[in-house]
Copies of this chain bind each other. A is one copy, B any other.
Amino acid sequence: MNKALQIRVQRDGIVAEGEILKVDSFVNHQVDPSFLNLAGREFYARFKKAGITKILTIEASGIAIAAIAAQYFDVPFVFAKKTESLNLDPDTYETEVYSYTKGKGYQVRVAKKFLLPDDKILILDDFLARGEAALGLVRLCRQAGSSVEGIGILIEKSFQEGAGRIQQEGIPLESLVRIAGFEDGKVIFEQD
């Protein structure tokens, strides 16, 4: 676990009802690029030997994380889209992801030309809880025949099943901050 990131999550994260950790002041609405720089450097330290050719994330909150991490890896990144758009190439890989926050499934898609069989993909996202979004991105890579070399997560809710589901898929997982639970409105972090 990364101590500097943990301290920031502890200081500025807000615990809301329903075991929701709000990080909207520095991660997913207002964004602090220096925080994401620390995260990007740490993702690079953990995956630099994996031969990553491309980073894959999902709009919207993954984009800033991927953009800054991609600078360290010196590779392009691709963000899977949740909305249909006239500007999106019609030839896409698609899969459905269930959102427990929204209580419904939604389609995510990536233009086929941006996921290639010889790509070595690092998937990045802000949160890992049940693993729905991350595993949706894994399915898109498998449709393309791309190899998923790892999944990097900013904040893992270790008391939910996402990490276990990713391990079952045999994919290396690195979560920079791991949360064991919440108590009296405070975050309890996993011990390393």
A101 close to chain B: CB less than 8 A: yes
Name the B residues within 8 Å of A30 (CB-CB): 76-78, 111, 114
**Main DSSP-derived SS at the A contact region:** mixed
Q: How many residues of A sit at the interface, in one of the four size bands?
A: 35 or more
Decide if B36 touches A111 in the complex (CB within 8 Å): no
Name the B residues within 8 Å of A24 (CB-CB): 87-89, 111
Assembled-state Cα–Cα distance A48/B129 (Å): 40
Assembled-state Cα–Cα distance A32/B86 (Å): 21
Interface positions of A (Cβ within 8 A of B): 20, 22, 24-26, 28-34, 36-37, 59-60, 63-64, 66-68, 70-71, 74, 76-79, 81, 85-89, 101-102, 110-111, 113-114
